[in-house]
């Protein structure tokens, strides 16, 4: 009996190796249904939108801390626009995220409004956004370092401040601005009192001292008025 012929099998095909420069699959070269199987998640097409200040408003809390100065200036400019457009109802200027930001730096809505109003009424010069930022930076440092970001529950009424004509060591206005600076550092100024008002600016301009520098000098002096007097007298 004859032996059966062996079963003929097709010869194996050599594997096809793509050249090294073969293009990788892209979302446009694959059927839509296969994209999730061939591409890693980070390669999938996504839609990215970048929020503006008043439309899904602003940055994350991380950005608020890392670039809080940029947030401050952006908010300041937006509020100047609101004031210029005739909107002086300042509580409407701030979103919930803005309020969280102000709370994080120890700044009230009214303090921010006072900066903006004086800026607009002085044609953007007194204070500038930079001056407002520098003053707020001192208050922010005190609030976060000394007060551990816990707001004070005390308010210093305007009626308890030294009169505008009071003097110390021959410096008229000095007792008043010292009291205001201490209250500013602690977040205790009432809504009708502004550190850096026109009278403060006139005094500090005469002494050639920036409002933020004076605020830091008051912080460094603590309760010792003599240190502040020495600071003023030592100025060139």
Contacts 24+ apart (CB under 8 A), 108-111: 108/187, 108/191, 110/191, 111/189, 111/194
Backbone angles phi, psi at 102, to 5 degrees: -60, -40
* Cα separation, 184 vs 177, whole angstroms: 10
Per-residue pLDDT tens, the chain, 236 aa: give them. Answer: 444 445 555 555 555 444 444 444 444 444 444 444 434 443 344 443 333 444 334 444 445 578 999 999 999 999 999 999 999 999 999 999 999 999 999 999 999 999 999 999 999 999 999 999 999 999 999 999 999 999 999 999 999 999 999 999 999 999 999 999 999 999 999 999 999 999 999 999 999 999 999 999 999 999 999 999 999 999 88
**Domain extent listing, the chain:** 59-150, 152-236
C-alpha torsion angle, residues 120, 122, 123, 129 (rounded to 10)? -60
* Cα separation, 83 vs 89, whole angstroms: 9
Contacts 24+ apart (CB under 8 A), 197-202: 197/114, 197/118, 198/118, 199/164, 199/173, 200/173, 201/126, 201/127
Give the global pTM. 0.74
Task: Please name the residues in contact with 93: beta carbons below 8 A apart, sequence gap of 6 or more.
Answer: 78, 79, 82, 87, 109, 113
Which residue in 86, 85, 83 sits closest to 113, CA to CA? 83
| pLDDT per position as a tens digit, 151-203 | 999 999 999 999 999 999 999 999 999 999 999 999 999 999 999 999 999 99
């Amino acid at each position: 009996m004859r032996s059966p012929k062996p079963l003929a099998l097709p010869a194996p095909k050599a594997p096809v190796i793509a050249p090294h420069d073969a293009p990788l699959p892209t979302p446009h070269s694959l059927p839509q249904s296969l994209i999730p199987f061939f591409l890693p998640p980070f390669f999938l097409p996504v839609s990215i939108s970048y929020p503006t200040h008043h439309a899904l408003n602003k940055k994350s809390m991380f950005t608020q801390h890392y670039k809080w100065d940029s947030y401050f200036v952006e908010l300041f400019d937006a509020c100047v626009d609101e004031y210029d457009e005739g909107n002086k109802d300042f509580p409407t200027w701030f979103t919930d995220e803005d309020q969280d930001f102000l709370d994080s730096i120890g700044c009230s809505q009214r303090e921010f409004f006072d900066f903006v109003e004086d800026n607009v009424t002085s044609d953007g010069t007194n204070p500038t956004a930079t001056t407002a930022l520098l003053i707020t930076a001192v208050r922010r440092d005190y609030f976060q370092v000394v007060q551990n970001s816990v707001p004070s529950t005390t308010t210093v009424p305007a009626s308890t401040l030294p009169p505008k004509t009071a003097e110390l060591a021959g410096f008229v206005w000095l007792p008043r601005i010292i009291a205001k600076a201490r209250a500013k550092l602690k977040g205790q100024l009432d809504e009708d009192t502004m550190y850096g008002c026109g009278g403060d600016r006139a005094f500090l301009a005469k002494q050639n001292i920036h409002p933020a520098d004076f605020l830091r000098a008051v912080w460094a002096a603590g309760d010792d008025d003599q240190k502040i007097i020495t600071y003023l007298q030592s100025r060139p």
